[in-house]
Amino acid sequence: MDQIRPPRRFRMGWLFKLCGLALCVVVLGGAVMLLWNLVVPPIFPGAAEIGFWRALGLLVLCRILFGGFRGRHGWHEKKRRMRARWQAMTPEERERLESRFCMFGRNRKGE
């Protein structure tokens, strides 16, 4: 039995998202490292400069301690708000929104 392969644009979309995620990790890690090395050692003479991997570890630690990984309201609250917004839309607004989803690679009505 032949395997069904996803469309090329679907595979390219995941590749694009993965590259974007890697770029964000590099930029954020570099920003934390740069800020730490510019601010903390001059203020606290005993503090050492940190490298990239320690900066990423510090970023993850701060995210766990202060930000969490779920966001403010969680998925259920967002889903409820989006459903209410969808029901409040006119048919023309819904059609316009659906056509914008098509621009991002989502098929319309099973096409």
- Per residue in 8-34, pLDDT tens? 666 677 888 899 989 998 999 999 999
Specify the pLDDT at position 50.
93
pLDDT tens-digit readout, 38-97: 999 999 989 999 999 999 999 889 888 887 655 555 667 778 888 898 889 888 988 888
Whether 46 and 59 have beta carbons less than 8 Å apart is answered as: no
Specify the pLDDT at position 74.
64
